[in-house]
């Protein structure tokens, strides 16, 4: 499993915006790690971020994932809770990944493991560059993305 720490790319901008990957690229990092996982490739943010599109606020435009052979499959955004039923529905599908929304979209982390009693889902956080569990975050939604 390839992991990406966003702070390792301090000069990379998100598209044509002034937003930096190192500060605002958590969702893009999750997408790139998912791409690597789903296609068995090793890509870097420097290779992938310029191919994606972002709005003026640095928000990823989901249709731009098509260039990577990916698409948004389902989402539960700003719901204020962990959408466990939706996650479990997709979890065994080897063609998708899940980005967990933290604090109503302030941050995103990548689901890398199933449910563990008391701890929750195993996650990788591109900001801290560490593995953790969902119980330590305020999960408010998720985005399921995968192969077209």
- Alpha-carbon distance values, 116 to 14, 40, 80, 123 (Å): 34, 26, 21, 11
Listed by start position, the domains of the chain span: 6-147
Q: Per residue in 35-90, pLDDT tens?
A: 999 999 999 999 999 999 999 999 999 999 999 999 999 999 999 988 999 999 99
Nearest to 142, CA basis, from 105, 112, 113? 105
Q: What is the pLDDT of residues 116-136, one digit of tens each?
A: 999 999 999 999 999 999 999
- What is the fold, at CATH topology level, of the domain defined by 6-147? Cathepsin B; Chain A (3.90.70)
């Amino acid at each position: 499993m390839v992991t990406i720490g966003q702070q390792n790319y301090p000069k990379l901008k998100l598209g044509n915006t002034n937003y930096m990957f190192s500060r605002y690229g958590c969702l893009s990092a999750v997408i790139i790690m998912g791409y690597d996982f789903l296609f068995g490739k090793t890509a870097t943010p420097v290779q992938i971020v310029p191919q994606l599109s972002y709005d003026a606020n640095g928000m990823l435009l989901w249709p731009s994932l098509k260039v990577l052979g990916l698409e948004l499959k389902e989402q539960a955004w700003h719901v204020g809770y962990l959408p466990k039923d939706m996650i479990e529905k997709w979890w065994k599908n080897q063609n998708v990944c899940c980005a967990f929304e933290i604090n109503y979209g302030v941050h995103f982390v990548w689901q890398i493991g199933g449910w563990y009693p008391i701890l929750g889902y195993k996650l990788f956080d591109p900001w801290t560059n560490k593995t953790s569990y969902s119980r330590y975050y305020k999960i408010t939604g998720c985005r399921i993305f995968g192969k077209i």
